[in-house]
Structure 1
Amino acid sequence: MKNLLVALALIANITAFGSERSKVKVTNDSTAIFKVYYTSPVSNKVRVNIYNEDGKKVFSEIIKNENGFVRPYNMSNLPAGNYKFEIVDNEDVRAYEFAFNNAPANAEGLTVFVNKFSDNKFFLGLGNASNQEVTIKIMDENRNEVYSATENVVSQFSQLFNLEAVKSGVTFKVMSNGITVKEISF
């Protein structure tokens, strides 16, 4: 009976330990700096890969961690385009796609970026040095407008969009004073 209890306790511990999974989050606080947040209940090696829109690996590193890390990635030396972070550990391969606009603030003083978090979730970020009214339009693959709003950007503006109704081919268009500041397509 004692051996049975020890065996059941061991199985319960293994099951509980095995059910805890690593967690990954990728954020963008500015236009060129992306941060990978990684936590895990166990120590392991994590590979972080960055791919360009042609699928070419432009950066790779292995991070040995004790239970997690926060790692900034400066993308300022890369050209504008669509990229993908790939985080690989002992459990999973996770991918985070995003559009990167490496251009400095435009003549209107507005910086624009869009990150693609999943098939239908996108994060739009805007930044400027002064108050500015901008129009945000989102279009589907046939250029049909699925969203339009005007926002007053005071220093920074951000919004997460869930575009379940759009099946493919999403385009974000940001305009100021009737002039297209940036158009980003996925």
Structure 2
Amino acid sequence: MKTLMTLAMVLSMSIASMANEGIVNVNAASNVKVKGKSFTLSLDESLGKVRVVISNPQGKKIHQQIYFLDENTNVPFNLSSLPDGTYKVEVSSLDKKNVVGKTKYDVNIANPAPISLPLMASYKALDDNKVKLSVVGLEISGLAVKIKNAKGVIIHKEFINENAGFHKIYNFQKLNTEGFTMELVDAKGRSKTLEL
């Protein structure tokens, strides 16, 4: 009798495992990759028929679509016109036969950090004693200028209250400008050193 019960248990477990062989889990057969303010939803063909729902950070449904999958599919979504935040992507099975469950993904989108441009400044020697400084792209008024000689001693210092761009001519009467440097710092903290 004990052997018969053991045989019945093994047989029922074998039948149960054969019944579950064709089962696909939605979580294992889908994936999300985020890049900037867009993302790609990857869906395996084994899912068959699925519903995709996207909700905004407040929980309001903003997109819903049903997909009939006969091959592996990558679905791109562009959220660049939407505000920053964490959006919910829900993938649920509509195939009752061999796909089970649903899964949710958090998609955090944000504008990329603004690009910080360097301080744009250059100089041109007009003759042995004159140098023309050109600065462009100042977003905030103000530029600190320090001119140092070859020994690192400050020979001139000033603050120029200009924005956008300007030109200024410096006259070093009878000074040898070899080894001179011009240190510039704008109101945003960007700096540049020009070797004259």
Give the TM-score band, short-chain normalised: 0.3 to 0.5
Per the normalisation by structure 1, the TM-score is 0.45
Which structure has more relative contact order (CA 8 Å, sep 6+)? It is 2
| Greater percentage in strand | 1
Per the normalisation by structure 2, the TM-score is 0.43
Larger Rg: 2
